Structure 1
Amino acid sequence: MEGPPSRTDRVGSLERGLGVMEILAAHPAGLSMSEVADRAGLTRAGARRFLLTLVAAGYALQDGRIFRLSPRLITLGRTWLSGASLWTYAEPFMREVSKTLNESCSAAVLANEDVVYVARIAGARIVGVALHVGTRLPAHCTSMGRVLLSGLSADELDAFLTRATITAKTDRTITDRAELSRLVAKAGADGYSIVDQELEIGLRSIAVPIRDRTGTIVAAINVSTQSARMPLSEMEREFLPLLKKAAGSIEDFFVVQ
């Protein structure tokens, strides 16, 4: 059996470049060249080369002095996530939720200002929004988005709310940034979020987080339904326990890895 690769088998510049990407991934609001250099243990000139290479390749964006990862990485992530073992593992639990409630159950991850659907079990009942793996929806007015945003640090959430395009999808959409910050904090404290007709009139959804072994929120799962079918209080009573149970089972994936 082969051992780990030796130093001569590794490409040091690639390792450092991947390190720069990981640093940017941990700071969605972006970093300056000097900040990247400090965190990566690089000279400013070295950081400049890596950052400009990432920009030229389309994997990073430059806004004045600030660099951040670009949505192009979502394509790579989406390809991996759509076939990843996590979602293969999660599907039976999501399917059970969908079958029990006769509603759709979906999973998503945060991607800049949006959530991207990475798994979905369609229910027998029809909702207005056509959703599938790869669908992007605004994070600010979706239940999974608010749950995922609750995993950001205070500084990262402030940066998100500052840069995000926050527009009304319906007359119920909350666009006040201070109120959104409060609702995200509430989602973090409660361990779930309900969004009522903010994305589409007649559509309600409830979401809970999926955490890895470190406790970091890495995804969210939700159930959507029509407002005419399900009062909010009943969603909490009927949907939430099933979602939490499914989330706990999915989180076991990280324990056995």
Structure 2
Amino acid sequence: MKQERGQLEAGGDPEFMTSLARGLAVLRCFADAQRPMTIAQASRSTGLSRPAVKRCLHTLVRLGYAAQDGANYALRPKTLALGYAYLSSSTLTMRAQPLLDQLRDELHESCSLGVIEEDEVYYLARAEVSRIMSIALRTGSRLPLYCTSMGRVLLAGQPRIAQESYLRRADLVARTPKTETRPGELLARFARVAEEGYAINDQELEIGLRSIAVPVTSGGRVVAAVNVGAQATRVTLAELRTRFLPSLRRVARELSAMGLA
């Protein structure tokens, strides 16, 4: 995913450190690619020049965050400390994980906690069952907002003007034949989710995958979403509502009652 140029340049802000922004962009491109990368590949991914990427990678290698093998660069385990620093200090994540574990054991399906970050759903916590889906999800994974159950719950908690602004920015790609991409219809669905208090995704992200999500609130605001995903061949839409929804709402109420910011 190519970085927006405006996010990597000072733009007249004297306090903005362009070199740090570029280094972080290079780090992030490894997460997007999920494989070792060459300087040329990282340059295309970030939109930075090859000399700039080379300097960033050289610095990361010197600091122990990356390793070089010929023309390829890969991240080293030391980078885990960067993400763990957030996870270990996040009250929401720490309190959600045991509840997700309990929900997984109760429903025998994978459960997740997500928030909005940079027009995507960021997975902050996840409890998995040992079933293989083509989409590998884990803490730190990112998915689109418009075609996921958690994304629609999070968008439903936003003002209408923010929803419209997002839909103008977003690349509304049909991930499957079932994916809704019409802005008007998506706005209507966001409104329905806000009214009903939950969102169901029926194979719009991936054929064979259904999910249901509910909001986590704090001070009257939607601050996160929790969901359960299941294979469509095993779980009907009716079951999502009758068997999964009550348990999901219980977990969301527990998290909301903790007064998480």
TM-score by length of 2: 0.68
Match in the other structure for 1:252: 257
Return 5+ residue gaps in structure 2 as ranges.
1-10, 23-80
**1:15-59 Cα deviation digits (max 9, x unpaired):** xxxxxxxxxxxxxxxxxxxxxxxxxxxxxxxxx854x64484649
For 2:82 and 2:162, how far apart are their aligned partners in 1? 21
Answer yes or no: is the 8 Å Cα contact 2:176–2:206 preserved in 1. yes
Match in the other structure for 2:189: 183
For 1:220 and 1:198, how far apart are their aligned partners in 2? 18
1:5-24 alignment, distance < 5 Å = none
Q: 1:190 to 1:54 in 2, by over 3 A?
A: farther
For 1:150 and 1:240, how far apart are their aligned partners in 2? 17
For 2:252 and 2:132, how far apart are their aligned partners in 1? 24
- Verify: 1:215 aligned to 2:220, yes or no: yes
Greater relative contact order (Cα < 8 A, sep 6+): 1
For 2:195 and 2:105, how far apart are their aligned partners in 1? 29
For 2:164 and 2:157, how far apart are their aligned partners in 1? 13
For 1:243 and 1:77, how far apart are their aligned partners in 2? 30
**1:114-134 Cα deviation digits (max 9, x unpaired):** 111010000233333100011
Q: 1:77 to 1:237 in 2, by over 3 A?
A: farther
Match in the other structure for 1:27: none
Match in the other structure for 2:63: none
Q: Say which SS state the counterpart of residue 172 (structure 1) adopts.
A: coil
For 2:237 and 2:247, how far apart are their aligned partners in 1? 15
1:145-156 alignment, distance < 5 Å = 145-156=151-162
1:71-82 alignment, distance < 5 Å = 81-82=86-87
Q: Say which SS state the counterpart of residue 146 (structure 2) adopts.
A: helix
Match in the other structure for 1:97: 103
Runs of 4+ in 1 over 3 A off after TM superposition: 52-59, 76-81
Answer yes or no: is the 8 Å Cα contact 2:96–2:113 preserved in 1. no
Q: Say which SS state the counterpart of residue 259 (structure 2) adopts.
A: helix
Q: 1:80 to 1:115 in 2, by over 3 A?
A: farther
Return 5+ residue gaps in structure 1 as ranges.
1-47, 60-75
Q: CA RMSD in A?
A: 2.5
For 1:81 and 1:168, how far apart are their aligned partners in 2? 33
Q: Say which SS state the counterpart of residue 179 (structure 1) adopts.
A: helix
For 2:228 and 2:82, how far apart are their aligned partners in 1? 23
For 1:55 and 1:189, how far apart are their aligned partners in 2? 43
For 2:188 and 2:82, how far apart are their aligned partners in 1? 30
Note the C-alpha offset of 1:201. 0.3
Match in the other structure for 1:195: 201
